[in-house]
Structure 1
Amino acid sequence: MRPSFLIAAILSTTAAAALAQTAAPRGAKAPAGDAAAASAKAAERTGPALGTFGFDMAGRDTSVPPGDDFYAYANGTWQKNTEIPADRSSYGMFHRLQDLSREQTRTILDEQKAKAGSKSGDFYASFLDEAAVNAKGVTPVKPWMTAIKAAPTKEALAAEAGRMARRGVDSLFALFVNQDDKDPETYAVFFNQAGLGLPDRDYYLKDDAKLAATRTAYQAYLAKMLTLAGEPNADARAAAVMQLEKTIAEAHWTRVDSRDADKIYNKMTFAELVARAPGYDWTSFFQAAGIPAEAPLIVAQPTAFVGEAKAWAEAPLPVLKDHLLLRTLSTYARYLSTDFDQTRFAFYGTELTGAPEQQARWKRGVDLVSSQLGEDLGQAYVARYFPPESKAAADALVRNIIAAMGERLKNLEWMAPETKQKALAKLAAFTPKIGYPDKWRDYAGLEIRRDDLVGNVARGNEFEFQRNLNKIGQPIDRGEWFMTPMTINAYANPTMNEIVFPAAILQPPFFDPKADPAVNYGAIGAVIGHEISHHFDDQGRKYDPTGKLADWWTEQDVARFKTFTDRLVAQYDAYEPLPGQHVQGALTLGENIADLAGIIVSYDAYRLSLGGKKAPVIDGTTGAQRFYLGYGQVWRTKYRDPILRQILLSDPHSPGMQRANIVRNVDTWYEAFGARPGQKLYLNDEQRVRIW
């Protein structure tokens, strides 16, 4: 099982296509201008950034009873008055904060760009020099294209696939290095199914009119990429690649099966991989990629690998060449001339996410440098925008919420005493990471040139690829971070038994030292509780206090837990955000469990923080109401239909509205807002899912 994130890759700088599209509310300006000045202004504030106590009261729609739709009650006017600008596919509080983080990072990069010899500044300059990029056209990737087209055999092509993997291009398989789930003191090479240009197998296989239209658009995109690269017979070649990808999709596991920690743990040697997935030249791929043949391997979807290797063995060599050629062009189109870049955006941005226009080049440049040199930038970011008092306050919140989770575990009636004891030991062994790493990554071996954007990206990918391969056989680096300080997200890592909160998320509306504590506990507190509880969700619970994938629950505990989770699956299956398209309760189960636990545990922590005193009434709201409003506010999100469809098909996170409305399972929410029988969210006592 890989780390569980608070939100999907929709905000990740390495996410495919234009998933990082954001927006601003109608009539308001997106965060812009001098971020340093904005930060100084924030420090001078005498009150909270939002409203009088940290919540935007004007964004509510009080005509909607909370018991009918709490999301609309807390956010309905904001939802109605927010327009998604042309360069965005969705907008919410995460995106608002991401815009701020980008502006802050841009300020740093603009300063570094003016200095000679700054790696981050030079990388940023190479992306911003659009004229130089356009002048080169497709030339920077021509040597790779030539090598792929010249491969005389499938064995030689497998070697090219290995070389392209080092440059960040996945062919049939994707790989990374991480801790062995059943031996967390050892690194292993993990292999995942790959090879698809569309987001998920369902895009190829489901009989749906909208997905059929997307398939048609995708094939046209492939043909146009070949044409732009000067390749003949583009339509026929694109059709053949599309058919190959459909065959690959038929072999792929579903997203639900691929999130099961037990199913995806399949450890094998190199010889066993070769024997189990014949038809692919694994030796050539491993040697070209630089993977040691003796490295322990963990194959996530072994039957998919059998199917992918079979597809490779049966496909004509020219079709396999075109598949790798198109994977390369599609991956690097963002760093080639405008015709490639805009063609890629027209499909991955407009067709798949609904954004009519591409984001400003500086934003994309900030995201690129943040993804490639994140800790180089992160040092400057933390020094300027993350004061020690913010870290101290966040540390205190984490301690309080861990303590509240401990009390919840101690008082569970359904868990056996022996399991409860081990659960408490696991909680006691937690490592919270707040803000930034203790030791910064060294990029001394990475060459960056101002006049070589594609080369910078390729060298950056190779540098990171080799850095990870170098871990094999070495002690576990427990100080490593998998997010940059500028990232608006958080994660739980089961094999490290850790929870991680980058500096940038510790700002309003998630955390505001000048807001009412109830709002902070409802916002960042619930985020902290969410990540803590991931270690006890349907997959995280399978990892013991040392981070080992092990069977440490009694059979009775597992059975009782499943009765709760089955009900939560059914509850989410009933939601229909788009006509005919429901939330997948089984796919989103882990995140839904974490949302539910997060607000329950954080509310306990808020009550404990009052020290027995009664919370004040502010603007007519009680402490409990402000807590839940703070929670509802962070899930404000408006989507275009294509990105919402993609989320429903492939994302383990539910849409924002459903995440906010999980409060329908929480007794104290009913007390705070008076939800009653007959209202749409109302659940009677037996229907409410109470896990923790």
Structure 2
Amino acid sequence: MDMECACKDTTCLLLRHSTPNTKVPKLTEFYDACMDTDTLDTLGLVPIEDHLKAICSANLTVEAIFRGATISNATGVPLFVELSPLPNAVNYTRTALYDVHPGMPFDQKYFHEPLWATVEKPYREYLTTLFTLVGHGEAPRGRVFRQRPYPLSVANASYPLGLGLPLQAFGFDVCEGSNIIVLLDDHYYLDFSEGCLRSMPVDVLKTMIEYKVLDFNARYLSTPFVKARSAFYDMVIEGLKELPSRATICRFQVETSIGELLGTYYPKEVWTADIAACAELLVLALKAAFKTGLESAGWLDDATRTNFQPPRAPHPLREILNLTPAAALYPSLTEHHLPTTLKVSQPPHTSQD
């Protein structure tokens, strides 16, 4: 569906009326970089060339995994594990470091019959196209292969390849004595992946990491990569009848990054004085209702009632809406689309507080 036809909310309306005819700060620069297929096609693999060289030049399993994890940390490419700082389920006042499965390239249901029969051929064609575009000729054939807190040193010792190396690549201290812990969700997956990584030939491992880098970046590279990705994900998985236009692709990319791109300009345009006043009144009313409910609830004992009181003044509305003064504003955008996209899409990495 054309995004212009589907524009109904304020965000999409602002996007539609801002590109490409008006020069809204940063937004049009990002959109123009995406639409500049001549530059993207001329660049080819240049935006990810260093990453591909780093992977292909690895001689050891440890080298390949660590380099892949370093790329993952820098760009967000999903590797064999995802490290996420999230609220601690035991103590919500603290943030915990979670180790979670990085997810499948598309919905898991497609990896089982009968759906696998409908996607296997186009998926193999997509893989072949990616590797052909980087000069491999065809896709190399690979071989078939209760939540508990762990100190990072123990996690590193237990899963040195699948978890230890990514932790190090993300800048964590895995030496004994570190007081940071990681919560492991799926020991079966970690055991399985560690065994695979130990037994996997380094060339197969490098191919897997290279594919992850290519698949993650394909939408931001030259036209052949974009078409190959769209032919599989949009046509086969999403069921579109025709490839989306370049303008549709770029408008979608702008929409997903609009908050970071526009910085304070966007809230000022969307949050008028009247809307802000109404929202503030709503927040104050909710706060008052919550306080009244706590004070009047006869089934609450005094200790529980005290513990439920906010320990400090609530965030102002602008902070609740993630409109903090510290929000990244990106005063300048790079010429090339992929570096620009990475600049606005990667949040700062934080560990447990």
Q: Under a length normalisation based on structure 2, what TM-score does the superposition of the two structures give?
A: 0.80
Aligned residue among 240, 260, 266 for 2:142: 240
SS in 2 for 1:468: coil
Matched, 1:274 2:181: no
Q: Which amino acid aligns with 1:134?
A: D
Q: Describe the shift of the 1:453–1:389 C-alpha distance in structure 2 as closer, same or farther (beyond 3 A).
A: same
SS in 2 for 1:339: helix
Aligned residue among 68, 78, 83 for 1:170: 78
Query: Residue 161 of structure 1 aligns with which residue?
Result: 68
Q: Describe the shift of the 1:128–1:233 C-alpha distance in structure 2 as closer, same or farther (beyond 3 A).
A: closer
**Following TM superposition, by how much is the alpha carbon of 1:437 offset from its aligned partner in structure 2, in angstroms?**
3.4
Query: Residue 167 of structure 2 aligns with which residue?
Result: 286
Aligned residue among 11, 15, 21 for 1:105: 15
Aligned residue among 322, 332, 353 for 2:238: 353
Instruction: Tell me the distance in 2 between the aligned counterparts of 1:368 and 1:409.
Output: 44
Instruction: Tell me the distance in 2 between the aligned counterparts of 1:427 and 1:218.
Output: 54
Query: Residue 136 of structure 1 aligns with which residue?
Result: 43
Query: Residue 180 of structure 1 aligns with which residue?
Result: 88
Q: Could you report, residue by residue, the CA deviation over 1:356-414 in whole angstroms, capped at 9, with x for unpaired residues?
A: 334443454344345557245142122122212113323444555677788999999xx
1:409–1:420 contact (8 Å) kept in structure 2: no
Instruction: Tell me the distance in 2 between the aligned counterparts of 1:443 and 1:23.
Output: 27
Instruction: Tell me the distance in 1 between the aligned counterparts of 2:301 and 2:19.
Output: 50
**What number of residue pairs does the alignment pair up?**
345
Query: Residue 192 of structure 1 aligns with which residue?
Result: 100
Instruction: Tell me the distance in 1 between the aligned counterparts of 2:135 and 2:302.
Output: 64
1:151–1:157 contact (8 Å) kept in structure 2: yes
Q: Describe the shift of the 1:376–1:343 C-alpha distance in structure 2 as closer, same or farther (beyond 3 A).
A: closer
Q: Describe the shift of the 1:423–1:351 C-alpha distance in structure 2 as closer, same or farther (beyond 3 A).
A: farther
Query: Residue 30 of structure 2 aligns with which residue?
Result: 123
Query: Residue 187 of structure 2 aligns with which residue?
Result: 302
Q: Describe the shift of the 1:143–1:431 C-alpha distance in structure 2 as closer, same or farther (beyond 3 A).
A: closer
Q: Which amino acid aligns with 2:250?
A: G
Matched, 1:457 2:341: yes
Q: Describe the shift of the 1:277–1:110 C-alpha distance in structure 2 as closer, same or farther (beyond 3 A).
A: same
Q: Describe the shift of the 1:427–1:393 C-alpha distance in structure 2 as closer, same or farther (beyond 3 A).
A: farther
Q: Could you report, residue by residue, the CA deviation over 1:457-493 in whole angstroms, capped at 9, with x for unpaired residues?
A: 34445x52xx223x655xxxxxxxxxxxxxxxxxxxx
**Following TM superposition, by how much is the alpha carbon of 1:150 offset from its aligned partner in structure 2, in angstroms?**
1.4
**Following TM superposition, by how much is the alpha carbon of 1:199 offset from its aligned partner in structure 2, in angstroms?**
2.3
Structure with bigger RCO (C-alpha 8 Å, 6+ apart): 2
SS in 2 for 1:169: coil
Q: CA RMSD in A?
A: 3.8
Instruction: Tell me the distance in 2 between the aligned counterparts of 1:271 and 1:368.
Output: 39
Q: Describe the shift of the 1:163–1:428 C-alpha distance in structure 2 as closer, same or farther (beyond 3 A).
A: closer
**Following TM superposition, by how much is the alpha carbon of 1:267 offset from its aligned partner in structure 2, in angstroms?**
1.9
Query: Residue 252 of structure 1 aligns with which residue?
Result: none
Q: Under a length normalisation based on structure 1, what TM-score does the superposition of the two structures give?
A: 0.44
SS in 2 for 1:240: coil
Question: Percent of aligned pairs with the same residue?
Answer: 19
Instruction: Tell me the distance in 1 between the aligned counterparts of 2:83 and 2:190.
Output: 13
1:102–1:366 contact (8 Å) kept in structure 2: no
Q: Which amino acid aligns with 2:102?
A: A
Q: Could you report, residue by residue, the CA deviation over 1:425-462 in whole angstroms, capped at 9, with x for unpaired residues?
A: 75978868478335233537887312x2222234445x
Q: Describe the shift of the 1:400–1:167 C-alpha distance in structure 2 as closer, same or farther (beyond 3 A).
A: same
Q: Which runs of 5+ in 2 are unaligned?
A: none
Q: Describe the shift of the 1:187–1:292 C-alpha distance in structure 2 as closer, same or farther (beyond 3 A).
A: farther
Q: Describe the shift of the 1:423–1:346 C-alpha distance in structure 2 as closer, same or farther (beyond 3 A).
A: farther
Query: Residue 335 of structure 1 aligns with which residue?
Result: 220
Mapping of 1:247-266 within 5 angstroms? 263=146, 265-266=147-148
- Between Structure 1 and Structure 2, the one with more helix by share is 2
Matched, 1:382 2:267: yes
Q: Which amino acid aligns with 2:349?
A: N
Instruction: Tell me the distance in 2 between the aligned counterparts of 1:316 and 1:112.
Output: 53
Instruction: Tell me the distance in 1 between the aligned counterparts of 2:18 and 2:3.
Output: 23
Instruction: Tell me the distance in 2 between the aligned counterparts of 1:125 and 1:194.
Output: 32
